Amino acid sequence: MRSSTLAKCFLTLAGVLLLLWLGELPAHPGPVLSGAQGAFVDSLVEVRSRYGAFKGGARIWGNGVGRKIAFTFDDGPNYQTTPRLLDHLDAYGIKATFFINSRRAHPFGLGSAKSYQALLETHRRGHMLGNHTHAHPNLRTIPAAKQKVQIELTDRLIRRVTGADGYLFSPPYGAMSQYASRLLRKRGTTVVMWNIGSEDDKFFNVSKVLNAVMAKLERQGGGIVLMHDTHFWTIEAVPPVVQAVRVESCVNLARGEEPYEVVGLDYFWHKRGGRPAPRSLEARRRWRQKRAALVRLCNGRPKVGLPAFIRGESS
């Protein structure tokens, strides 16, 4: 038997073992709704129902929606960085979408068992999970069969963690292949792109990431923010970004305009004309409460533009 045939046999066997392992992952331990953290957790039944709402095979970009912002985090989970981000998001009452690489929650990778726990926690706290492939390849550079496996492995992990079929996909490097497009459309998966890149893989610095997000937000007016929960500097950039958005919102309110609202990706799905996922009465009630709290917060602040310290321009 030639060595290339042996290698193919070995890879096939490894793939089968990996699929078997994913099937054997411990089931989700279930929500812990008591205590202070419970206050941040939406009903997981409600969270699961949101997954099905994306079935339809559309593509969303995030532009042209007014002052609505959705936060997305790619390339995780990472046990060293994701848990701290979850705390930041809870502190601001923000729900985000995490596009994960299932390879990171694999038992043979360094720290991946801990990252699997971080993934469970991400779901438990009410964030959405999306598919970012298994090992983050450029889909245009690998054969169709491998693309299928890359997508299916992560789908399987999402199903295991959430109990729901996932219909959100973000292509690594924003690069979709014709085969993957067809496969995802057939399956009814929504492909999510972004219009506000944080450039956190180019700038390893909180101030620069903050400035990149705010500059694009100013130009675009709102949209889908792309960050990576695998970088320490990104995690630390999240609180200043949220604070800067609040300051901008105060400026808008002072002008008699609407403030920014942090929304889920379902808002953009609705705008793209897919099967509507109308905002629930509960979501609208929550926004009224948040808006009123923002007005109170803004009234306690001077109505000026974004301070230099938040822009990261001061020394």
Q: Which residues bind Zn ion (CB under 5 A)?
A: 74-75, 172
Residue 229 near residue 98 (C-beta atoms within 8 A):
yes
**Residue of this chain nearest to Zn ion (CB atom):** 74
User: For Zn ion, which is the closer residue by CB, 202 or 284?
Assistant: 202
CB of 130 to Zn ion, least distance (A): 11
The H-assigned helical ranges of the chain are 3-23, 35-38, 44-52, 82-91, 112-124, 144-162, 178-187, 206-220, 232-254, 266-271, 281-299, 308-311
Specify the DSSP class assigned to residue 41: P
User: For Zn ion, which is the closer residue by CB, 72 or 211?
Assistant: 72
Identify the helix (H) or strand (E) that includes residue 59: strand 59-60
69: its two tokens: 């912002």
User: For Zn ion, which is the closer residue by CB, 210 or 227?
Assistant: 227
Residue 143 preceded by cis peptide, ω within 30: no
CB of 44 to Zn ion, least distance (A): 26
CB of 89 to Zn ion, least distance (A): 19
Residue 204 near residue 233 (C-beta atoms within 8 A):
yes
User: For Zn ion, which is the closer residue by CB, 21 or 173?
Assistant: 173
CB of 184 to Zn ion, least distance (A): 16
CB of 53 to Zn ion, least distance (A): 24
CB of 201 to Zn ion, least distance (A): 8
56 - beta bridge partners?
Answer: none
Q: CB atoms < 10 A from the CB of 13, how many?
A: 10
User: For Zn ion, which is the closer residue by CB, 42 or 199?
Assistant: 199
User: For Zn ion, which is the closer residue by CB, 86 or 226?
Assistant: 226
Residue 240 near residue 311 (C-beta atoms within 8 A):
no
CB of 76 to Zn ion, least distance (A): 10
Alpha carbon 105 to chain centroid distance?
A: 16
Q: CB atoms < 10 A from the CB of 131, how many?
A: 28
User: For Zn ion, which is the closer residue by CB, 172 or 223?
Assistant: 172
CB of 135 to Zn ion, least distance (A): 11
User: For Zn ion, which is the closer residue by CB, 126 or 172?
Assistant: 172
Burial of residue 42 (CB within 10 Å: 0-12, 13-18, 19+) is middle
Residue 119 near residue 101 (C-beta atoms within 8 A):
no
- DSSP3 helix / strand / coil % (the chain, rounded to 5): 50, 10, 40
